[in-house]
Structure 1
């Protein structure tokens, strides 16, 4: 009986320790995007990877969002307003067109092009690897792309 009590105590101690360690990071406080309740965002959310590069996924406080790293260095919002033609750089990653806003470098904001609802990914380049869009594009690709983005070189030849 005494060894059962020790085993139970040890088991509870290990469980409590594990819970306290996982609770250290806590949830990432985020606001939902205007169209976060779009069913396509639910399809994206359930496909988000457990890790982006070396950064582990964290719980978030808002619908259709994702966060990776501690501190959170990659943030995703599904349901943002689609962007129209722009002079910002555009490129494709695994079949998903992304427009890059580097006005706050080393924080980069990437928004899908030609998909409604749009998905926005904010990456702190000081703490995240360059593979974030590679890791996230498969989940985002479930939203149908209706138009392609073009760079200046595409238009001018």
Structure 2
């Protein structure tokens, strides 16, 4: 007897259309919080022989990713240590990587703050891999104006 994959039963699906349409500013935050609780703060869901990310059943268009990026960065900066990896994973999922876009002002400073949290929580499984992936994708962010806090030597920021 087969059963549907666990990701198909993930809660919060009713918020996805609101996120896509941009009709609710809080829809993404609510969605993230519902999913964070569902996965118990660890973004990788193991289901039999398959591992899913806690957002794998949602595909965001590039414009939606761009619109949610700063909010996801804020969530990651404010998240508790217990769920920080989940927030970093979500930010990595939303990091635009299909085209070069303008980097939000002050993002470099936020990136450095996130790095310090990563260093403090390096014992979390897979955290360094997610962080390094986020840094690699950060190359797709073009500065609007010089941002002294942003270290362009990505390899120096890797854990």
TM-score by length of 1: 0.31
Q: Highest relative contact order (Cα 8 Å, sep 6+), 1 or 2?
A: 1
User: Which protein shows a greater Rg?
Assistant: 1
Could you say which structure has the higher helix fraction? 2
Greater share of strand = 1
